[in-house]
Amino acid sequence: QKEVEQDPGPLSVPEGAIVSLNCTYSNSAFQYFMWYRQYSRKGPELLMYTYSSGNKEDGRFTAQVDKSSKYISLFIRDSQPSDSATYLCAIHGSSNTGKLIFGQGTTLQVKP
Amino acid sequence: DAEITQSPRHKITETGRQVTLACHQTWNHNNMFWYRQDLGHGLRLIHYSYGVHDTNKGEVSDGYSVSRSNTEDLPLTLESAASSQTSVYFCASSDPGRGAGNEQFFGPGTRLTVL
């Protein structure tokens, strides 16, 4: 079993839709949860991060962590064509190694 | 502005040749990482370093090596390139005392083709 699982998609939605992207993880000790966004032929960039359980909101984006289910989500409201990208979840363990474990990435296309 | 750069951006080489991919960061970060990205596999860690003269193997290190002689650079060497090493390679750096905790900053990537 992989430590982090993410549905690779692809996911295609119409402009304005609510998008839900999800990852599951196996180790209950994981504490830092991140979402990276990667545009085509670019390097990933940090979009949001959360520590432990709960929600974090930033504009149209909401990151949610459910540690009891080992499940993390990224919600995009009022999706725009500019949101078309690959979204990768990343998890950092409890030890301060600096290493991140990445999901496979979900490719999202928002159609005008 | 501080940044992380990779060179070359594109490289075509032949099986059996030695190839070195460069990574340079100007943030003075201690941690540096090399990943490869392939369809269906996401980002997989090849090697990483926590500082000068420190190197560690990641999950897919066979056929690759790194060396860290200064803080700014972590070159990745493919000792004898194989077609299975055709991929997009990303370098990243981080410093636990900066950014969002363990945020890694990525370079633009190098697209390597081994014929």
The answer to whether A105 contacts chain B (CB < 8 Å) is yes
CB contact (8 A) between residue A44 and residue B90:
yes
A99 in reach of chain B (CB within 8 A): yes
Given a contact cutoff of 8 angstroms between Cβ atoms, the answer to whether B76 and B67 are in contact is no
**Contact criterion met (CB < 8 Å) for A32 and B109:** no
Identify the closest residue of chain A to B103 by CA–CA distance: A46
pLDDT digits (tens, 9 = 90+) for A2-52: 789 998 788 999 999 999 999 999 988 888 899 999 999 999 999 998 887
pLDDT score at A93? 67
Cβ atoms of A72 and A48 closer than 8 Å: no
- CB pair distance less than 8 Å for A32 and B102: yes
- Distance set, CA A5 to CA A25, A91, A102, B15, B104 (Å): 6, 11, 9, 33, 20
- A 10 A CB-CB count for B96 gives 15
DSSP β-ladder status, A106-111 and A61-66: unpaired
Mean pLDDT of B67-81: 97
With a cut of 70, say whether residue B6 has pLDDT above it.
yes
For residue range B34-55, what is the model confidence (pLDDT) as tens digits?
999 998 788 999 999 999 999 9
Return the pLDDT at B101: 62
Check CB contact under 8 Å for B102 and A100: yes
- CB-CB contact of B77 with B65 (8 Å): yes
Burial class (CB in 10 A: 0-12, 13-18, 19+), B48: buried
Stronger pLDDT, B1 or A56, i.e. the higher one: A56
**Upstream peptide bond of B8 is cis (omega within 30 degrees of 0):** yes
Alpha-carbon span B11 to B26, nearest angstrom? 24
Other C-beta atoms lying within 10 Å of the C-beta of residue B69: 10
pLDDT of residue A63: 95
pLDDT band at B100 (very low <50, low <70, confident <90, very high): low
Nearest-CA residue of chain B relative to A43? B108
pLDDT averaged over every residue in chain B: 93
**Interface probe, candidates A4, A58, A88, A92, chain B, greatest B C-beta count within 10 A:** A92
- State the DSSP string of A31-84: -EEEEEEE-TTS--EEEEEEESSEEEEETTEEEEEETTTTEEEEEESS--GGG-
User: Does the pLDDT of residue B79 top 90, yes or no?
Assistant: yes
CA–centroid distance for B28 within its chain: 16
Asked if A32 is an interface residue toward chain B (Cβ–Cβ < 8 A), one would say yes
**What pLDDT, on a 0 to 100 scale, did the predictor assign at position A95?**
62
